A and B are shown apart, each in its own frame.
Chain A
Amino acid sequence: MGTSSATTHRVVYDDDIVRAFSIVTMVWGVVGLLVGVLVATQLSFWQANFGLEWLSFGRLRPLHTNAAIFAFVGNMMFAGIYYSTQRLLKVRMASKLLGWIHFWGYQLIIVGAAVTLPLGLTQSKEYAELIWPIDVLVTVIWVVFAINFFWTLAIRNERNLYVAIWFYIATIVTIAVLYIVNNLQLPTSFLHSYPIYGGVQDALVQWWYGHNAVAFFLTTPILGIMYYYIPKAAERPVYSYRLSVVHFWSLIFLYIWAGPHHLLFSALPDWAQTLGMIFSVMLWAPSWGGMLNGLLTLRGAWDKLRDDPIIKFFVVAVTFYGMSTFEGPLLSIKSVSALGHYTDWIIGHVHGGTLGWNGFMAIGMLYWMVPRLWNTTLFSKKLAEIHFWIGTIGILLYISSMWVSGISQGLFWLALDGDGFLKYPDFIEGLISSRFMYQMRLIGGVLYFLSFLLGVYNLARTIRSGRKVNGETTVKGSLEPDSRFNWKVMFGAPVIYSALVLILSFVLGGFGMVGAAVALGGLAVVVVAAMLGVGLVRDDHTKQWHYRLEGNWWVFSILVLLAILIGGIVEIIPTIVIANKAPLEALNTETGEPNPYLQQPYSPLELEGRDIYVREGCYLCHSQMIRPFRSETLRYGDYSRLEESIYDHPFQWGSKRTGPDLARVGGRYGNMWHYLHLRDPRNTSPGSNMPTYAFMTDRKVKLDGTAHKMEVLARLGVPYEAADFAAAKQTALSQGGLISADLESQGVEVEPDSELVALISYLQRLGRGPQPVAPDAGGSAALGAR
């Protein structure tokens, strides 16, 4: 590509920001892993909750996941992106100031998370737990990062964008969309809010986000990093440019559809579940395309595997990526999900990805990059070797113990005897039988943690032995103007064809032919893959449409945005429509009978109890979604319907059963049972590993704020009325009085407005209609009886 002038100038990269992000990666890595070790200990030994509410499993588990994902992998990603982007574009980052705002803002977010989550301030949406003020900050900081990144693209000195940059673009664009859509919420106070979505809508939006946090936070940026650091470390060419093109576009297009595989056999409509499953299956090959390009790039450099620990880390990381992305589609197949969902198998699956793929990519990158940033050599290769082996053994121990305990749990829950009744009716038996595996997992996690400490020590010694240096290069002239923005590139043949297919499918979808619409939408995948694949067979890739596209970052980014929006739109909009219609249909059925499943709003006290349930992270171990299996309906009662949680903001379907499902626990046990159980679960369930919640006995619910919470929910569509707000506090006290009196008759005294009573009122309501809120009401109490 020609140059408009022949002058040569020197470019010095801004590596200070890379050094800063590298150091915090190590720090937050230690923190995230340490919290992981603690929560793993708590699952084996409940005493490790220390009777302190801030350290209980339900509050620390979100801290662990947020620290591992956003603090450790997030900072690692930024270090890798800032380092490689400058070099791949031969330009310094556009703004030093924006870079530092990004850095410090991001650290502030992490500290905010580390303070708020143990305090029980949470939205209870997995990997989106942070409360709304922090969400706002995250959005602002992400936009700052995006501006700095795209501005750098605009002033680049390299005409074409290398594949790593494509993945960075996909990350930045998609995370922005996901984060904002999933975190739309209405605050009730500075520290609390309710999401605008309820029940099934919230579940779908959350897992669309949750799955794609894995896809676009833990996968795409790391693939970009892989595409830079592996060829660099191996000093070998990338295996196939053509494969990069095909697997990039198919990966980002397909990934976004896969979210509903987290909701198989739930109350989500069948068609959406099926979409989640089939797109997950189709995702297998595109994911392995990334693995192939990583591993096959090492052809001709396999000898380095013997004596270069960096290559070892990269090879194992990419292998774990391949394993996880095979396991993912496998677990998305409905019949496999029936066995694996809610069990420890999923925990093993995600740790293969985070410890193996993310963790080892991070370590490999740091071992390669830190000596270059400080102009020195790695302090100890030997230590890095030891790190590698201890870490690898740790991961293997971790995931294999989770496979065993997960699959055992699945078989245990599903097992029926010859008469068609539960073979193992006692839930806790399964938990007790997993105990040994939990201890093995703990050992695996501790080994990984220790190996990581060795790595941090090694890197710290490396840093101390060197001096900061900024990379540089020389650039001749500047880019031709036409390579900066050319909208005509938008209309390449693959784009036109897939647009036509998609338009046709949406038109058919408009006539209610959902099936046809989706089938054709899927066809678009084939068309794009085929066109790209076939088009690139010709030898001279510089004459191809995609090559021109790579020179136009605007157009490239717009196409990425379109590709990731389609799946979300097709799945989310119909679900929102269905969910909005459900209450209306309930009132207008043919028989005129109200839908018996339609949820009635919670009483004020139950609502407060529910907020406590959310605060304590109960959903992390207890689902509220009974699947339509005989083994589940025998154990937990009738399977859950879509209408039953329609007013739940946020939804509490859960994703893991360390304890039993609670969707229909209401009325199953007496108030006294709950009192004893919450004070110390081992009172009623010997062998339980649940934390104690005795502190709730003496703590009062702030009933003055309840009416306002109800008003906010009413604005979100929950059918509360003005009279309910005025009476909220009185109604709550009166309902609490009933429970309190019942407990008193059995010899214990608890205040009617204590947190314990509020939580019991919520638990007793689950799966049932409105409960008495006044002594003489006899079940016909005001709320919800209309």
Chain B
Amino acid sequence: MSDKKQGDDGYQHDQVLSHAFDGIEEYNNRLPNWWLFTLYASIIFAFGYWLYYETFVVGPGQEAAYEQVMQKAAEAELARASAGGLNDESLLMMAGMPDKVAEGAQIFKTYCVACHLEKGQGSVGPNLTDEFWIHGPKPMNIHETVTNGVLAKGMPQWGLQLGPKRVEAVVSFVLTIKNTQVPGKPPQGERHAAEDTAPEDSEAPAGDAPGGDA
């Protein structure tokens, strides 16, 4: 090749080496500065990172970082719990709030219908519209069942996945379909007459279920 140049920096630019392979020639150009900078910078970064996280353990490892996040979340949870108590009355109040119930209906449709069907009449899971309750009929009983699940029977622990607000909403919705007596899965659990558990202004009929196989 004819294009030989001597650079100001003393390096040979574009000068082919004395030997060719199957006609392929090679220059011996110097390595670009930015490339060298990238190489050295990434090596320095690697050392620094190793020293920071592994040798001197200044930064937290993955478990420590996780514990920090969980600690903060637990504190927030504690603050929320001590701020306002959740009880049967407050859940019943929510069951009277159309927004809350509508949100709960949506959640129910997404997560619950696979086992309880659209109207809560039950298939894999029990009928939620009759007067029979396996794990207790009170709003807080239902809240507890949704939050912690019934692992032995395949009811998932929804509390973590859905978070407290969604659980409250879906419980409010369930309280509105309770005792609506939709024909479906045969009764399971103990019978609790409607007046024992329903909101005081409930229009649900008391006494025996009017129809279906309940």
Contacts and interface: CB of A to CB of B under 8 A. Distances in A.
B115 A628 contact: no
Contact of B162 (A425, A669, A683): A425
Interface string A285-306: 1101100100010001000000
A702 interface: no
Contacts of A238: 24-27
Nearest to B80: A419
B42 A284 contact: yes
A768 to B, nearest CB: 9
B50 to A, nearest CB: 6
Interface in B73-90: 73, 76-77, 80
Interface in A504-522: 514-516, 518-519, 522
Given A241-B28, A629-B66, A419 B76 contact: yes
A685 B113 CA distance: 10
Contact of B17 (A281, A329, A473, A541): A541
Interface string A598-630: 000000000000000000000000000000111
Contact of A284 (B22, B25, B38, B123): B38
A533 B31 contact: yes
B46 interface: yes
Interface in B14-63: 14, 16-19, 21-32, 35-36, 38-39, 42-43, 45-47, 49-51, 53-55, 61-63
Interface string A655-688: 0000000000001111111001000000111000
Given A160-B19, A420-B73, A672-B124, A232 B49 contact: no
A632 B30 CA distance: 49
Interface string A197-240: 00000000000000000000000000000001001100001111
Given A265-B62, A420-B76, A274 B161 contact: no
Interface stretch (B132-140, B149-157, B196-204): B149-157
A427 B47 CA distance: 39
A628 B62 CA distance: 7
B115 A673 contact: yes
A518 B14 CA distance: 39
B156 A628 contact: no
Nearest to B157: A668
A281 B21 contact: no
Contacts of A542: 18-19
- Tell me if A's interface is mostly helix, strand, loop or mixed: helix
B154 A421 contact: no
A462 B198 CA distance: 84
B47 A522 contact: yes
Contact of B24 (A228, A285, A685): A228
B165 interface: yes
A52 to B, nearest CB: 26
A241 B22 contact: no
Interface stretch (A344-352, A485-493, A633-641, A715-723): A633-641
B93 interface: no
B204 to A, nearest CB: 28
A519 B111 contact: no
B12 interface: yes
A426 B35 contact: no
Given A246-B31, A282-B42, A515-B54, A628 B165 contact: no
B206 interface: no
Given A422-B161, A541-B28, A281 B46 contact: yes
B24 A670 contact: no
A89 to B, nearest CB: 9
A426 B11 CA distance: 62
Given A667-B154, A670-B115, A676 B124 contact: yes
Contact of A518 (B36, B43, B50, B110): B50
B163 A425 contact: yes
Contacts of A539: 12, 28
B97 interface: no
A327 interface: no
B154 A673 contact: yes
Nearest to B24: A231
A68 interface: no
Interface string B107-138: 00011001100000001110000000000000
Contact of B63 (A274, A628, A637): A628
A284 B37 CA distance: 12
Interface residues of B, number: 70
B64 to A, nearest CB: 9
A273 B62 CA distance: 10
A776 interface: no
A519 B154 contact: no
B27 A239 contact: yes
Contact of A519 (B24, B51, B63, B124): B51
B80 A237 contact: no
A417 interface: yes
B26 A421 contact: no
Nearest to B39: A285
B42 A673 contact: no
Given A274-B49, A542-B18, A639 B114 contact: no
B164 interface: yes
Given A162-B24, A539-B12, A670-B124, A630 B73 contact: yes
Contacts of A669: 115, 154, 156
A193 to B, nearest CB: 33
A526 B152 CA distance: 58
Given A277-B49, A634-B160, A673 B124 contact: yes
A50 interface: no
Contact of B27 (A240, A426, A668, A683): A240
A158 B28 contact: no
B73 A271 contact: no
30 contacts: A84-B22, A88-B21, A158-B21, A238-B27, A240-B27, A240-B28, A241-B26, A241-B28, A242-B29, A243-B29, A243-B31, A278-B49, A284-B38, A285-B38, A288-B38, A300-B3, A419-B80, A420-B73, A425-B162, A473-B22, A519-B47, A519-B55, A525-B43, A529-B39, A541-B17, A628-B63, A630-B70, A668-B156, A670-B154, A672-B123
The 8 closest A-B pairs by CB, nearest first: A670-B154, A421-B163, A285-B39, A278-B46, A628-B66, A515-B55, A237-B25, A684-B114
Interface of B: 1, 3, 11-12, 14, 16-19, 21-32, 35-36, 38-39, 42-43, 45-47, 49-51, 53-55, 61-63, 65-66, 69-70, 72-73, 76-77, 80, 110-111, 114-115, 123-125, 149, 151-157, 160-166
Given A271-B54, A284-B38, A668-B151, 13 more contacts: A237-B16, A241-B28, A243-B31, A246-B31, A274-B53, A281-B46, A296-B29, A419-B164, A425-B162, A541-B17, A630-B73, A669-B156, A670-B124
